[in-house]
Amino acid sequence: MASSSIFNPPSSTTALLLRRTRHPIHVGPTSLRFLTSQSAPPSSHLVSFAASATEASVAKVIDGKLVAKQIRDEIAAEVSRMKEAVGVIPGLAVILVGDRKDSATYVRNKKKACESVGINSLEVNLPADTTEEQVLNYISGYNDDPSVHGILVQLPLPSHMNEQNVLNAVRIEKDVDGFHPLNIGRLAMRGREPLFVPCTPKGCIELLHRYGISIKGKRAVVIGRSNIVGMPAALLLQREDATVSVVHSRTSNPEEITRQADIIIAAVGQPNMVRGSWIKPDAVIIDVGINPVDDPSSSRGYKLVGDVCYEEAIKVASAITPVPGGVGPMTIAMLLQNTLTSAKRINSFQ
């Protein structure tokens, strides 16, 4: 999980500015830019600083698309180095059951991402009426296949299958999704190391790392407690010595608690739930939500928004991920990273 900042900057100055909640340092005027479209921003915006919120400025935008690209470049270099050194190419097997269009799109994107970094992708598409036993047979085959280092079962599965049974069948050494309870248990325990960390929460923390945002000793609030994002994100933040509170549907005063956070990770699937008034000035916001909302002005008839009201948040926070272009691109990058890690570990290559 350790990673150094690869940007030039985030320099130590940036890190200092991002810590300014405790020790205000005024700089300015600064070159502020933030994403207003899906087009990739110029990388120079990474060196922009957010001035203090009290100066009516806007937050630094955390560019997940750009970070993901840099991570994929790093992975591509490592894949080449490994191939040359030991002749092994990392392999990811993806099992898709049924004909859900969204699942097919996700699988296609994963396949493309693998190709872009030189990871072999094996894909099996099974009809919706496949039996659980047949799926288990495929998993068993990939478990034993030395050219496969990661196995991913695209969810959701058809309702006649027991998801737990299927996921538990994946060998822990190839569980690149990191959802096996043994991985989650190790993630929760001090002094233990999970073999894999779930991709989306790992991507959230990686963004904080790469932007030089310190976590240790900070108040962090995670909104949502799902098995795939909220819960492991809270465990990861705690591993990095944040003081973590988890807010969920049964929380009576989510706004009040969220307002105490230096770092907010929102992963609840409620469009624009977190308003500007929920945010402490200069907080850092990682928005995992990707929610379609009606938008007559769009040719598609909808647009994607996060769990955080971006327009309000950007005026209060010191840094924020956009939607899309924030956490989204990081998930697949982390999947590739987990697959590379697995191939290295299985082949004792460092």
Count of CB atoms within 10 A of residue 164's CB?
Answer: 9
Catalytic residue, chosen from 60, 63, 65, 110, is 110
Minimum Å gap between C-beta 28 and a copy of itself is: 27
| Contacts of a copy of itself in 137-196 (CB under 8 A) | 164, 180-192
Any catalytic annotation for residue 110?
Answer: yes
Structure tokens of 217? 């000793």
Any catalytic annotation for residue 99?
Answer: no
Of 51, 197, 246, 268, the residue at the interface with a copy of itself (CB under 8 A) is 246
Minimum Å gap between C-beta 234 and a copy of itself is: 9
Minimum Å gap between C-beta 251 and a copy of itself is: 4
Minimum Å gap between C-beta 161 and a copy of itself is: 15
Q: Which helix (H) or strand (E) holds 121?
A: strand 120-126
Q: Does 296 bind a copy of itself (CB under 8 A)?
A: no
- Whose Cβ is closer to a copy of itself: residue 3's or residue 227's? 227
| Contacts of a copy of itself in 36-95 (CB under 8 A) | none
- Whose Cβ is closer to a copy of itself: residue 19's or residue 303's? 19
Q: Does 231 bind a copy of itself (CB under 8 A)?
A: yes
Catalytic residue, chosen from 60, 63, 154, 218, is 154
Count of CB atoms within 10 A of residue 39's CB?
Answer: 9
Count of CB atoms within 10 A of residue 161's CB?
Answer: 19
Distances (CA, A) of 67 to 117, 176, 250: 15, 20, 34
CB 313 within 8 A of CB 276: yes
- Whose Cβ is closer to a copy of itself: residue 238's or residue 347's? 238
Distance between CA atoms of 180 and 167, rounded to whole angstroms?
Answer: 7
DSSP state letters, 279-331 = S-TT-EEEE---EEEE-TTSTTSEEEE-SB-HHHHTTT-SEE--SSSSSHHHH
Of 252, 297, 299, 350, the residue at the interface with a copy of itself (CB under 8 A) is 252
DSSP state letters, 31-91 = -----SSSSPPPGGGGG--PPPGGGT--PEE--HHHHHHHHHHHHHHHHHHHHHHH----E
- Whose Cβ is closer to a copy of itself: residue 163's or residue 312's? 163
Candidates 134, 185, 126; CA nearest to 154 is 126
- Whose Cβ is closer to a copy of itself: residue 121's or residue 214's? 214
Of 21, 30, 226, 272, the residue at the interface with a copy of itself (CB under 8 A) is 226
Q: Does 1 bind a copy of itself (CB under 8 A)?
A: no
Q: Tell me, what DSSP letter sits at residue 271?
A: T
Distances (CA, A) of 207 to 211, 271, 327: 6, 22, 8
> Residue type for 200, please?
T
Q: CA 345 from chain center: how many Å?
A: 22
Helix (H, G, I), strand (E, B) or coil at 182: helix
In this chain, which stretch among 1-9, 84-92, 237-245, 326-334 interacts with a copy of itself, using CB under 8 A?
237-245
Furthest CA-CA distance within the chain = 63
Minimum Å gap between C-beta 262 and a copy of itself is: 10
Any catalytic annotation for residue 303?
Answer: no
Minimum Å gap between C-beta 181 and a copy of itself is: 3
The site for a copy of itself, by CB under 8 A, has a size of: 34
Catalytic residue, chosen from 63, 174, 175, 177, is 177
Which residues are annotated as catalytic?
110, 154, 177
| Binding stretches for a copy of itself (CB under 8 A) | 164, 180-192, 216-217, 219, 225-227, 231, 235, 238, 241, 243-248, 250-252, 257
